[in-house]
Amino acid sequence: PVVKYRKDYQPSQYLIKNTNLLFQLFDDYTLVTSELKITRNPLDNRETLLPIELDGVELELVSIHLDGQVLDDSDYEKRAHTLIINKVSETFNLTTVVKILPHKNTSLEGLYTSSGKYCTQCEAEGFRKITFYLDRPEVMSEFTVRIEGDKAKYPLLLSNGNPVDRGELTDGRHFVAWHDPFVKPSYLFALVAGDLDCLEDTFTTMSGREVKLELYVDKGKLDQCRFAMDSLIASMKWDEQEFGREYDLDLYMIVAVSDFNMGAMENKGLNIFNTKYVLANKKTATDADFEGVERVIAHEYFHNWTGNRITCRDWFQLSLKEGLTVFRDQKFSEDMQSAAVERIDQVKIIRAAQFAEDSGPMAHPIRPDSYIEMNNFYTVTVYNKGAEVIRMMHTLLGKTGFRKGMDLYFDRHDGQAVTCEDFIKAMEDANGKDWSLFRNWYRQAGTPVLKVDLEKLADGHFRLNCEQSCPATPGQEHKNPFMLPIKVGFLNNTGHPVKFAETNDAAGVDETLLVMTETKQSFDIYCESDSLVPSLLRDFSSPVKLEYSYTQEELASLFAADPNPFNRWDAGQTLMTQMLMSETSKLTEDELSVVDNAFIKILNDEELDNALKSLAVMVPELNSLIGMSDNVKLDQLFAKHKQLKVHLGEKLEHTWFSIYNTTSGDTSGDRWLRNTALRYMMIANDEQHFELAATQQTHADNMTDELAALQVIANASEGYRSEYIEQFYQKWKEEELVMDKWFTAQVVNDDEAILEHVKALLNHEKFSIENPNKVRAVVGAFVAGNTSQFHNPTGQGYEFLADIIIQLNKINPQIAAGLAKQFNQWRKFDSKRQALIQEQLVRIKSLDNLSNDVFEVVDKSLQ
Ligand code: HT7
Ligand code: ZN
C-alpha cells in the first residue's frame, strides 16, 4: 500500500473544465460515456507537460478517443488504478466508454444498487469507480449528465443541478438530462434512478426566490418524512439568519437509501441519505432519532456553503469542511433544542471516542499528515475535534468576530478549493489577530492535559496556576503548547456562586475567559471569600483533559449549585469517575452515599429540567471511562461500575418508582427521566418491576417508550424476556429501522452467554452482512455497547470481531476497517487481554487480499 503525505502535495497539472456524462442503465451492467474538456492548470509551473494519469478502479474500458480520434493501444496504458495517456496537449477532449457492474458493487462506493434503485457515493474517492477521471477535490468542473433507463422500473432519473431535458427512447426506455451550473469536484457528483415516493414543499429564500424541495423515499414511507422536511426548512432559515447564506439552486433533493456506509452525503442539489437520518415518526422513531434526523439534515444542508461552494483543495484538508460543518450543525441543534443538553452530548462523544482515538495508534492531527486510505480518516478527530477547534475560535472571537471571519472566508474563497490555512487566515484578517500559536491545533495530535491548582495568596487574593502538556503520539514525540481558552467561575465555601475580578480594582464578574498561551501560566483572582471552589473549563471551552484535585465535597457542591449547567453535570461525572477509576477494588459505603445523596439533591431540584436531570443521574459510560485513561483494569472497573448502578437502583428505588409514576410522558425530557427511572428500578429488582416494563412496551404510543421498555426487558432475567422480544418483532418486522433497534436491544445484555445469541442473530432472516446499518446494529452495538462481554476474558469477543472483519474485508472494506478500529485501545488493557487481541490483529494482517482500509488500521495498531 502507498502512503500519501500532505507535504508532497502538488497542484494537478490538468483541470477538467466540462464533464459530460451519459449513463445507460441495463439490467446486468451500466455503460458510462464520459466526454471531458481538459486544460492545463494555470497554477502548474512544471516545465514539461507530463502524461495525464486518470484515476479508475474496477472499470472495463470499452473505448477511448482523444480529440475525436480512436487511441491506439500504444498511446495509453491501463493499470489497476489508473489510465495513463502519453501524448496530450495543453487543451484536449477525452472520451471514454466504460462498463461497470452496480449490482455487484457491495462496497457501496461509486454506483451501486440498494433495494432496487441505483444510487452513488463518491466521497472520498468513489467517482473513480464510475469513470476515468481526475478524482481529486481541487479539480472542479461543470457537469452535464444524461441518464437512460427502463421507464417502468426507473421512472425517476436524478442527478445534480436542474433537469434540462427529458424524453422517450425505444424499448420502454426514457432519459433525463441534468445540468449543474455550479462547478464542483467529482466527489459531489450524484445519480439516483428508481421508483420512489416524493414529499414536496417549497422554501422562499431571503431574497425572495422560490426553491422546490423534494424528499424521495421508498414507496409507502411518506408518513415518515414530514419531520425531515421541516428540519430542512428550519436549516435553510437558520443559515440565512445566522450566517447570511442563501440556497443557490432552484431545486433541493434528498433521497433516502437503506444501504449506506455513513449518515448522509451532501452532493450538490441531490443529497443521498441513510434512511436512518430521514425516516421518523412518533411510532417508529425515538426522541434521539428525531434529534439525529434534524442534525444530519442540517449538517448536509450547511455543507452547501461550507464544503460545496467552498471545498477542500486536497483530502488532508477534510476538517476545513467537516469540522466547520459539524460546528455549524452543533450551533443549530443548540438553538433548536436545549443548548446545555446538546453541549453535554457533544462532549460525551469527544471523551468517549475522540480521546480514545487521540491516545491510540491512529492518533492524527485534525489536519492529518499522511494516509493510506482516505476513508479511514473520516474520524471523530477530523469531525468532532475539528468542530471543537472551530468552537475555540468562536469562543475567542465572540459571535460577532466569528461572523466577520466567516463573511471574509465566503467573500474570498467562494467557488474555490482551499485549505485549513485559508480559513484561519480569514479569521485572523477579519479580526486583526495573529494566531500563529493557535495553528498547533491543526499540526499536533494528542489530547492536552491541563493541570490546575488554586493558591490562596492573601485574604481576598487567589492565584490559578495552570500547566499544560500533551503526550507523545505516533510520529510526534515533542509537543508545543496550545492556545487554550479557559472559561472559569467560582463558588464560595457555602456552595454559592461568587463574583470575582482579575485585578484588585476591577468590578466583580460572574465568569471570565482566561487564555493560556504558554506551558505554565498563572492568573490572579480577587474575591472576598475565605475559600473558593473553581468551576473550570466551563462548557468544555478547550478539548483537554482537566486535572484539578477536587475533594468529593467540592465536587458535590459544584454538582448541586454550579450555575453553568454543563459544569454542573460534569462535576457529577468527575465525582463518579474519580471513584470508579481509583485503585480500590470496591466502592466504599461512604463513596456510595456521597453519590446517592448528590442524586437526591438533583432529582429534587425544581429549577432543573428533566432532560438535564436525566443526564446528571447517568453513571459515566464504560467507553468514556476507558477512553479517558491510559491504563485500565477492566475487571475491577466492570465490577465497580455495576456496584454503583445496583446501589443507585436499590437505594433510590422508591424515588425512581415515584418519578416513574408522577412524571408525565408528554415531552422528550419527561420521557427520558421516566425511562431512566424505569432502568434503575429494573436494575434494582427486575422481577418486581417486570410487569410495569411489559405494560409500557405493550401500550406505548411512541417508540421512545416502547424501545426503552424492550431494552430493559431484553436485559432482564431469562425466562421473562423472550415473549416480549417476540411481540416487538411481530409488530415491527416490516420496518427495517425498527428492526435495527430490536437487534441492538438484544446484544447489549451483559449475560455471559450473550455472544452465542449475537452469533445466532447474524443468521436471522432480517440480518444482512451487506447492509451497514444491520452490521452496526448487531456487531457494532455488541462491540461498542456491550463493553464487558466484548472484553470477556476468554477472548471469544475478540475472535468474533476478527471473524466479522475478515468476512467484511471482501464485501465492504470501509465498514470492515471501521470495526477494526475497535481493537485500537488494546495496549491499555492487562497483558492477557493484550495477547488475545494481538493474536486477532496478527490473524487479520496475515490475510491474502487484505484491503488497504483494513491493512492501514491493523498495521498501525500492531506497530
Ligand atoms: N461528507 C460526507 C462523508 C461521507 C463519506 C465519506 C466516505 C465514505 C462514505 C461517505 N458517506 C458520506 C458526509 C458528511 O460528513 O456530511
Ligand atoms: Zn459533513
CATH class of 1-195: mainly beta
Residues paired with 312 in a beta bridge: 418
**Direct distance between the N- and C-terminal alpha carbons of the chain, in angstroms, rounded to an integer:** 16
pLDDT at 48 over 70: yes
Predicted confidence (pLDDT) per residue in 98-109, tens digit: 999 999 999 999
Q: Are strands 117-121 and 251-257 parallel, antiparallel or unpaired?
A: unpaired
Please report the DSSP string for 496-515 in residue order: -EE-BBSSTTSPPBS-EEEE
Give me 261's grid cell: 456506509
Would the CB of 853 count as within 6 Å of ligand 1?
Answer: no
Task: Please provide the average confidence, as pLDDT, over all residues in the chain.
Answer: 97
Q: What was the pLDDT predicted at 557?
A: 97
Number of the ligand 1 atom closest to the C-alpha atom of 322: 15
Number of the ligand 1 atom closest to the C-alpha atom of 260: 11
SS (H, E, C) 740-759: HHHHHHHHCCCCCCHHHHHH
Sheet bearing 82-85, strands edge to edge = 52-55, 82-85, 76-78
Place of cell 416513574: 660
Predicted confidence (pLDDT) per residue in 539-562, tens digit: 999 999 999 999 999 999 999 999
Would the CB of 300 count as within 6 Å of ligand 1?
Answer: yes
Q: 538 and 567 in contact (C-beta within 8 Å)?
A: yes
Query: Which residue has the least CA distance to atom 15 on ligand 1?
Result: 322
Give me 174's grid cell: 426514457
d(CA 434, CA 447): 23
d(CA 548, CA 568): 15
Would the CB of 539 count as within 6 Å of ligand 1?
Answer: no
Please report the DSSP string for 264-327 in residue order: EE--TTEEEEEGGGT---TTT--HHHHHHHHHHHHHHHHTTTBTTTBEESSGGGHHHHHHHHHH
d(CA 594, CA 81): 62
Residue 340: asked if its preceding bond is cis (omega within 30°), the reply is: no
Predicted-complex ipTM score: 0.98
CA distances from 443 to 4, 353, 657 (A): 17, 20, 52
pLDDT at 719 over 80: no
* CA of 773 relative to ligand 1 center, distance in Å: 15
Phi-psi region of 139 (alpha: psi -120 to 50; beta: other; left: phi over 0): beta
Q: Are strands 311-312 and 264-265 parallel, antiparallel or unpaired?
A: unpaired
Q: What was the pLDDT predicted at 206?
A: 98
**What one-letter code names the amino acid at 698?**
T
Would the CB of 289 count as within 6 Å of ligand 1?
Answer: no
d(CA 744, CA 679): 16
Q: Are strands 82-85 and 76-78 parallel, antiparallel or unpaired?
A: antiparallel
d(CA 459, CA 523): 16
Number of the ligand 1 atom closest to the C-alpha atom of 126: 8
- CB under 8 Å to 42, separation ≥6 — which residues? none
Q: Which of 314, 159, 189, 304 is nearest to 239 (CA)?
A: 304
| 438 DSSP assignment | G
* CA of 323 relative to ligand 2 center, distance in Å: 8
Phi, psi at 611, each rounded to 5°: -65, -45
Q: Are strands 484-492 and 497-498 parallel, antiparallel or unpaired?
A: antiparallel
- Catalytic choice (300, 322, 373, 388): 300
Number of the ligand 1 atom closest to the C-alpha atom of 374: 7
d(CA 93, CA 610): 64
Would the CB of 299 count as within 6 Å of ligand 1?
Answer: yes
CA distances from 652 to 553, 648, 680 (A): 21, 6, 8
Q: Are strands 210-217 and 251-257 parallel, antiparallel or unpaired?
A: parallel
Q: How far is CA 637 from the centre of its chain?
A: 27
Q: Which of 570, 483, 481 is nearest to 534 (CA)?
A: 570
d(CA 798, CA 487): 42
Query: Which residue has the least CA distance to atom 13 on ligand 1?
Result: 265
Number of the ligand 1 atom closest to the C-alpha atom of 296: 16
Q: In what helix (H) or strand (E) does residue 393 lie, and over which residues does it extend?
A: helix 386-413
d(CA 789, CA 795): 9
Would the CB of 378 count as within 6 Å of ligand 1?
Answer: yes
Largest CA distance in the chain: 92
d(CA 759, CA 781): 13
Query: Buried b / exposed e across 738-758, counting CB within 10 Å, b at 16+?
Result: bbbbbbbbbbbbeeeebbeeb
d(CA 389, CA 540): 12
User: 50 in helix, strand or coil?
Assistant: coil
CA distances from 651 to 311, 312, 680, 686 (A): 55, 55, 10, 15
* CA of 432 relative to ligand 1 center, distance in Å: 34
Dihedral angle sign, alpha carbons of residues 82, 87, 91, 94:
negative
CA distances from 172 to 148, 178, 197 (A): 11, 21, 21
Dihedral angle sign, alpha carbons of residues 83, 86, 88, 93:
negative
Query: Would you place residue 224 in the very low, low, confident or very high pLDDT band (cuts 50, 70, 90)?
Result: very high
Place of cell 424476556: 721
pLDDT at 350 over 90: yes
* CA of 246 relative to ligand 2 center, distance in Å: 18
* CA of 366 relative to ligand 2 center, distance in Å: 14
Query: Which residue has the least CA distance to atom 12 on ligand 1?
Result: 265
Q: In what helix (H) or strand (E) does residue 38 lie, and over which residues does it extend?
A: strand 30-40
pLDDT at 88 over 90: no
Pocket-testing residue among 262, 271, 297, 383, ligand 1, by greatest number of atoms within 8 A of Cβ: 262
Q: Which of 601, 593, 603 is nearest to 552 (CA)?
A: 593
| 125 DSSP assignment | T
Pocket-testing residue among 127, 265, 812, ligand 1, by greatest number of atoms within 8 A of Cβ: 265
| Rg, the chain, Cα only | 28
Residues paired with 179 in a beta bridge: 144, 162
* CA of 422 relative to ligand 2 center, distance in Å: 19
Query: Which residue has the least CA distance to atom 2 on ligand 1?
Result: 265
Please report the DSSP string for 53-75 in residue order: EEE-SS-EEEEEEETTEEPPGGG
* CA of 12 relative to ligand 1 center, distance in Å: 23
| 476 DSSP assignment | B
Q: Which of 488, 399, 479 is nearest to 444 (CA)?
A: 479
For the whole prediction, is pTM greater than 0.95? yes
Q: Would residue 300 show up in a list of annotated catalytic residues for this protein?
A: yes
Q: What was the pLDDT predicted at 394?
A: 99
Dihedral angle sign, alpha carbons of residues 856, 809, 624, 834:
negative
Q: What was the pLDDT predicted at 718?
A: 66
Predicted confidence (pLDDT) per residue in 122-179, tens digit: 999 999 999 999 999 999 999 999 999 999 999 999 999 999 999 999 999 999 999 9
d(CA 482, CA 517): 6
Q: 256 and 218 in contact (C-beta within 8 Å)?
A: yes
d(CA 275, CA 277): 5
